[in-house]
């Protein structure tokens, strides 16, 4: 590129020297008019070239922006697919756990494989606790899969824990919840169940107090 530029400059200087040595005044005037014409033409060409450069740069910028948008869309799709695969895997694992529990309920010999919730727990009560576990697992999966809203699951838990057996099971299974990470969905769900259990136990305790001390309180009033 440098060589071509040097040759072009040298040729221009040579032509100018030749014209200076042989050209007349009229020739110089004619060449001057031609130079002005080519100068104007050169300015137009330069302006069009600059415009072409600007338009090309603008188009490249738009293409880059569109490319970034497409890459971001692909990234979001990959993240969404990954989360969906995680939810599907968790749901399948939960269903497998439920099936295993169902087998232990249907077969007393298989139920003996599971460690008892409490020492010397009667087999019948242990099977009832296993069934209560399935009920809680179903509520957890319904919440995780989005089949029920948080309010619906909370209302369902309040109803379920009116059962003394459900509350008894939840107290017996407390040791299994001690290792749950505080930031896990299982821990958050266990807090909901704890609240439902405590809520009804408070109602039962209050009713028991009123039943035992109601007449005395009325006489005092």
pLDDT of residue 191: 93
pLDDT at 167: 92
Q: Which two tokens stand for residue 198?
A: 């405590």
Name the DSSP class of 90.
H
* Side-chain-side CA neighbours of residue 149 (13 Å): 3
Closest CA to 146 of 87, 200, 202: 87
DSSP classification of residue 65? H
**pLDDT of the residue at 159:** 92
* Contact predicate 129/169, CB 8 Å: yes
For residue 34, the model assigns a pLDDT of 52
pTM above 0.75, yes or no: no
Both tokens of 166, joined, read 């459900």
Residues with Cβ within 8 Å of 123's Cβ and at least 6 positions away in sequence, in order, are: 108, 111, 112
From first to last of its 221 residues, the chain has per-residue pLDDT tens of 445 444 444 444 455 555 455 545 555 455 555 555 556 667 777 777 877 788 888 888 888 888 888 888 888 877 777 767 766 766 676 677 678 777 777 777 777 777 778 888 888 888 899 889 889 988 998 888 887 888 998 999 999 999 999 999 999 998 888 888 989 998 999 999 999 998 888 877 777 667 666 554 444 44
Residue 33, pLDDT score? 55
pLDDT of 177 reads: 86
Cα 100 from Cα 76, distance rounded (Å): 36
Q: How far apart are CA 61 and CA 55, in angstroms?
A: 10
Cβ atoms of 157 and 139 within 8 Å: the answer is: yes
DSSP state of 116: P
């Amino acid at each position: 590129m440098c060589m071509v530029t040097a040759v072009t400059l040298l040729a221009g200087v040579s032509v100018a020297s030749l014209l200076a040595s042989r050209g007349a005044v009229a020739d110089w005037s004619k060449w001057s008019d031609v130079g002005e014409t080519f100068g104007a033409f050169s300015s137009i060409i330069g302006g069009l070239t600059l415009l072409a450069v600007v338009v090309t740069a603008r188009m490249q910028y738009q293409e880059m922006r569109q490319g970034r948008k497409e890459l971001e869309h692909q990234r979001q799709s990959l993240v969404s697919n990954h989360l969906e695969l995680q939810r599907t895997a968790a749901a399948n694992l939960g269903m497998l756990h439920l099936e295993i529990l169902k087998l232990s309920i249907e077969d007393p010999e298989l139920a003996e494989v599971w460690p008892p919730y409490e020492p010397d727990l009667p087999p019948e009560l242990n099977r009832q606790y296993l069934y209560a576990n399935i009920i809680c697992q179903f509520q957890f999966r319904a919440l995780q899969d989005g089949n029920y809203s948080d309010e619906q699951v909370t209302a369902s838990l309040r109803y379920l824990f009116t059962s003394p057996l459900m509350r008894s099971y939840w107290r017996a299974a407390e040791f299994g919840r001690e290792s749950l990470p505080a930031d896990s969905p299982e821990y958050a769900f266990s807090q909901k169940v704890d609240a439902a259990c405590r809520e009804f136990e408070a109602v039962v305790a209050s009713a028991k107090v009123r039943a035992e001390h109601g007449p005395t309180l009325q006489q005092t009033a």
